[in-house]
Structure 1
């Protein structure tokens, strides 16, 4: 009888505790549905199933909130940076409608309009590529790649530009460096970083590319003797549409480094940078093969 007498209150207590945890999850979900994205389920340090549910639920909410904030930022950035190209296209159209010009002038306006449209499409497509990679929705076409070939092809592609700018490209590469990755995305990472190095290096400067295969780690560094980056600007250079003060005179939309970082994170890698004004910059791509393998097992985040 004593066991029965004790069993009733204990059972009621356990059931009440379980229901309280479910009620907290339900209440939090309702508040989030009303727009309170910063709300979280109170998590205890216990190890039962409800505590694990609360922790998993909060982790999911953190990711959802980050994605929503990223989408808002992307929308704001697009609205700001699309304004100028759209205004130029409108001006070209108004000049054409005004008439009175020669056929050559009309053809020039049509060519300018086409060029601005191409710039808009490139900006939009790049922004979508970044958003897809950052959200974990990008589907990598993973194949066996020799990273040495990727670097050599990029150097060949930019060789003429470097010669026109009187910049010397030098490389320090192993014979082979095989990794698993998405060829097109890795090509764009290397191309964007090398393009930046050439763009901000004055005539007579150098761009040095080094590749070190350290087993589980692969380090690709692209060093230049260019204008460098101020210390207070370094934390922001990977933000979408951000351009340093001294880079605004060069053509660009401020998306190249953001895209490179997003693609590297999708591969489980990272990009580090060291820079000093008037002395140049060193961008180092770090690919950890073990981390990439773990990312593939987990799937999209």
Structure 2
């Protein structure tokens, strides 16, 4: 409201100054004409004198308005040109605003902020397309190469089976990539969709995830340590199932053979806290800053077994529930992913440890 009044006052003040300036300049000109006798010689022509007075006021007022409007309308013209550049896809545009402190100045500042945000979105989009193309192309090239080998009539049975196994593995990777892209697209647009919340036991869900991934942790001879409070929660069961599967898979992937994964859930103030900790390879400080970025994989040796979307999806699911995710890690000493989901538990009974 204060800014609105400020703009109105500025507009009224500008008109007032134009009128006053026009009156003063016209008056000076008329006095000059009177001194040289031009006006006095027209004393018998009142309408002509009136016409000369009005015409001088119109010409002087219009001239002043043109000069003043050029300065006043410059920021608006800059905004018009800026929007044209934005429409062309040029997000490098920036409008200078050194003096304006009113609504127009705020509009220019917000325009510059919008251009900067669109530039970031464009960079992220281009990076996403580049990474997705690379992730999609790699298994296809691998499948094509091994499929060609199968056409070789001299290929041994052992090599055939190895080629078939690799093709199946790469098609599974493509399938997982496609499903993760679809899931990521869904949850990134979830703001407009109501979460399908239901009431269920969180500890039972975590145990189910462990059972579903049994082949993976048994293959690496990983020991599981559980500290699960018996909590009934109200949340989107399907999305949280995906969250825990992604985090536990990640812990298994980066654990050493014979390592240990600790999973716990407990009440944390008015929230629920779930810790998933491994004692595997850990990560650098740089990796911790980018671990939730799309397609980012901190350890190059594990690129073949993931697509860099699991943790991005996990973080977004926690965010959708109004929570936050933290990661604590040191290189060579494992990592702990902490998910804090606010106000979703309804009851608690004593902790069950196994």
TM-score normalized by structure 2? Answer: 0.65
- C-alpha distance in structure 1 between counterparts of 2:182 and 2:19, whole Å: 55
Deviation at 1:51, TM superposition (A): 4.8
Task: Indicate the SS of the match to 2:121.
Answer: helix
Q: Indicate the residue corresponding to 1:224 in structure 2.
A: 278
Of residues 194, 205, 208, the one that matches 1:150 is 205
Deviation at 1:114, TM superposition (A): 4.2
CA contact (8 A) 1:269 1:286 kept: yes
Q: Indicate the residue corresponding to 2:233 in structure 1.
A: 178
Show the 5 A alignment for 1:65-214: 65-99=119-153, 109=163, 112-130=166-184, 133-134=187-188, 139=193, 141-146=195-200, 147-180=202-235, 182-214=236-268
Task: Indicate the SS of the match to 2:221.
Answer: coil
CA contact (8 A) 2:191 2:320 kept: no
CA contact (8 A) 1:207 1:222 kept: yes
Distance change >3 Å, CA 112–CA 214, structure 1 → 2: closer
Could you give the per-residue CA deviations for residues 162-194 of structure 1, whole angstroms, max 9, x where no partner exists? Answer: 3443322222233224243x3222211211111
Q: Indicate the residue corresponding to 1:7 in structure 2.
A: 16
Could you give the per-residue CA deviations for residues 106-137 of structure 1, whole angstroms, max 9, x where no partner exists? Answer: 78755643442331232233235335544667
Deviates more, 1:115-124 or 1:71-80: 115-124
- C-alpha distance in structure 2 between counterparts of 1:136 and 1:69, whole Å: 22
Distance change >3 Å, CA 38–CA 131, structure 1 → 2: farther
Deviates more, 1:153-162 or 1:240-249: 240-249
- C-alpha distance in structure 2 between counterparts of 1:91 and 1:194, whole Å: 33
CA contact (8 A) 1:159 1:169 kept: no
Show the 5 A alignment for 1:13-24: 19-24=73-78
Deviates more, 1:138-147 or 1:270-279: 138-147
Distance change >3 Å, CA 61–CA 145, structure 1 → 2: farther
Q: Indicate the residue corresponding to 2:49 in structure 1.
A: none
TM-score normalized by structure 1? Answer: 0.75
Task: Indicate the SS of the match to 1:248.
Answer: helix
Q: Aligned residues, how many?
A: 286
Residue segments in structure 2 that go unaligned for 5+ positions in a row: 1-11, 21-64, 345-354
Higher CA-based Rg: 2
Deviation at 1:101, TM superposition (A): 5.5
Distance change >3 Å, CA 108–CA 226, structure 1 → 2: closer
Deviation at 1:61, TM superposition (A): 3.8
Residue segments in structure 1 that go unaligned for 5+ positions in a row: 291-301
Q: Indicate the residue corresponding to 2:295 in structure 1.
A: 241
Deviation at 1:23, TM superposition (A): 2.6
- C-alpha distance in structure 2 between counterparts of 1:228 and 1:162, whole Å: 18
- C-alpha distance in structure 1 between counterparts of 2:165 and 2:68, whole Å: 75
Root mean square deviation, CA, Å: 3.9
Deviation at 1:73, TM superposition (A): 0.5
CA contact (8 A) 1:228 1:280 kept: yes
- C-alpha distance in structure 1 between counterparts of 2:17 and 2:338, whole Å: 65
- C-alpha distance in structure 2 between counterparts of 1:169 and 1:222, whole Å: 10
Deviates more, 1:268-277 or 1:143-152: 143-152
